[in-house]
Amino acid sequence: MKIALEDAGIGPEDVSHINAHGTSTPLNDLAEATAMHQIFGEKPPPVTSIKGHLGHSLAAAGALEGVASVLTLTNQLMPPTAGTNEIDPDVGLDVVTGEPRAGDIDVVLSNSFGFGGHNGSVIFRRYVN
């Protein structure tokens, strides 16, 4: 996440929304949340995981998460994290649940983590004429 922000030439304060890899496994979600807090501090931007909507599509997960991120920018709606009713207090994130959340969304950071330690983050920014 830090390298993606640096490559994009933006700071953590510019990120409007995070599309988390969010596998709903306690260790992975806590590790991802811990990394978010290291980058974004006490109050990271709102977070979503789309896996509850689509399942874990293995090698295609990152591409689908990218599409969801672009749709978030296009529609100015953060999708809810399906199937999530309770957030582990140790995670300490503002996880979008229940209904889509409208916002002024300019930048989405999307995380994609893979088996064997493949980790990637990409930044999507809204295009305005």
Per the structure, the complete domain to which residue 116 belongs is given by 2-125
Tokens of 47: 């977070």
Number of structural domains (the chain) is 1
Contacts of 16 (CB under 8 A, 6+ apart): 45, 103, 104, 105, 106, 107, 108
pLDDT tens readout for residues 11-69 = 999 999 999 987 777 788 888 999 999 999 999 999 999 988 887 777 778 888 999 99
Cβ–Cβ < 8 Å for 68, 52: no
Task: Give the domain CATH number at 119.
Answer: 3.40.47.10
Stronger pLDDT, 126 or 63, i.e. the higher one: 126
Distance, in Å, from the CA atom of 61 to the CA atom of 114, rounded to the nearest integer, reads 9
